[in-house]
Structure 1
């Protein structure tokens, strides 16, 4: 029997640490198993070497914060993605590696701030993607609604979902406020980012779990 495709899940934090990380690890482990993937969770930056990453189909950053890689690890992740490896960023992955330009390109936008967690309505703009196909066009959800330093549309991403700032307090991006997007470069692997996933309860929610499952499948699908 051939070995299962492998996914490396990174949860190291060098700043704020979300208490939902353990729930996220367990949810992603279950989703990976159901998809026929082998998931390895780590907070060791030494796991990011070209030799080690060569054995993986995709890398997931789950609620990472701050500088979580070494210089060698950054080079290894850049090479991994440039040669076809997939990347999935979840929630505060956007608040990670601010001083590394390539990571900003990989992600599409960087975290700026957020108001207090509160209910709002997610507008699903693209229901053809496996991460959003199961969702209603208007999805009631409670989360930290991230504002970004730039609109990811400026980076040419495919926006899948946005939030209606008129339905909550404290949004700073205006009428166009992307939350979830993906990129499929001409060269290199796919990348996907969802800003959702602050609460522990999110990782037990069937709709959110399917959102993550679809994103994970998509970034793994064409990775070399």
Structure 2
């Protein structure tokens, strides 16, 4: 199996070293470069064209969200995904990161195995959201009065069910198990949701689900109809 090629960007050498140690133990991940500021990160990504760039949200010269925008705006980097890695105190940037095109949002405090799993999930096109980020989204949108959005009428009942599961950070297999369908069927529904709502990926779909009021506090993500 070809290793996932990853670049790292963080302005703290200790964090870079820690990320390298976390990822190096996985034989299916290859670190192809490191940067200590946003401008250098963008140039590194253009030079190496990794499968995934893991970038800090706060960096000198260019922050993580602007790095995401630069990568998403470069047609030569269409195969590169960007995942933002940050501290819990910065997780209010989630919506901005998702709208910019980030394929995930992870916390530096996550267990190493979860960071490695999230890298693979993002490359597969699945949502890479830290569990605490999911809870933060629930809290942020809990008290908002959500007006019925006409975009919801574009989705079938099953597509809405799948979108709810995506918003809770579930993998395709987990969604398939919850809804008693095949994994291939889930992939088909996810693709339809992205197309109908004009979304780039599952991370944007997750944020959209909260904004549209599909997921509420206390909801377990099971099919509700």
For Structure 1 versus Structure 2, the TM-score category normalised by the shorter chain is 0.3 to 0.5
Given the two structures, how large is their TM-score scaled by the length of structure 1? 0.40
Given the two structures, how large is their TM-score scaled by the length of structure 2? 0.39
Task: Specify the structure having the higher radius of gyration (Cα).
Answer: 2
Higher relative contact order (CA 8 A, sep 6+): 1
Higher strand share: 1
Higher helix share: 2
